[in-house]
A = this chain, B = another copy of it.
Amino acid sequence: MTENTTDSKKTGTKQKILKVATSLFCELGYNGASIRKIASQVGIRESAIYNHYKNKEEIFLEVSKEIFSSPFSTEDNDVREMAMKGKAFLNKFVMQYKLLTFDKNNENMFRLLMIELLQNAELREQFMTHFHDKNIKVLSEGFFIMMQNDLIRSQDPMVISYEFLSTLFYIRLQVTLLRFDAKSTNHLSTMFEKHLEFFWESIKI
Contacts and interface: CB of A to CB of B under 8 A. Distances in A.
Nearest to A171: B166
Interface string A181-194: 10000000001001
Number of copies: 2
Interface in A54-95: none
Interface in A108-147: 111, 114-115, 117-119, 121, 124, 127-128, 132
Interface range for A: 35 or more
Contacts of A124: 177, 180-181
A202 interface: yes
A198 B155 contact: yes
B181 A162 contact: no
Nearest to A165: B170
Contacts of A8: none
Contact of A114 (B118, B160, B163, B169): B118
A198 B154 CA distance: 11
A181 B122 CA distance: 10
Interface in A11-53: 28-29, 31-32
A174 interface: yes
B159 A170 contact: no
A195 interface: yes
Contacts of A103: none
13 contacts: A28-B119, A115-B118, A118-B176, A156-B194, A159-B198, A162-B170, A163-B163, A163-B167, A163-B198, A163-B199, A166-B167, A166-B171, A169-B170
Given A115-B118, A121-B181, 18 more contacts: A31-B31, A118-B177, A118-B180, A124-B177, A132-B174, A155-B198, A159-B191, A159-B194, A160-B198, A162-B170, A162-B191, A162-B195, A163-B163, A163-B167, A163-B198, A166-B169, A169-B170, A201-B202
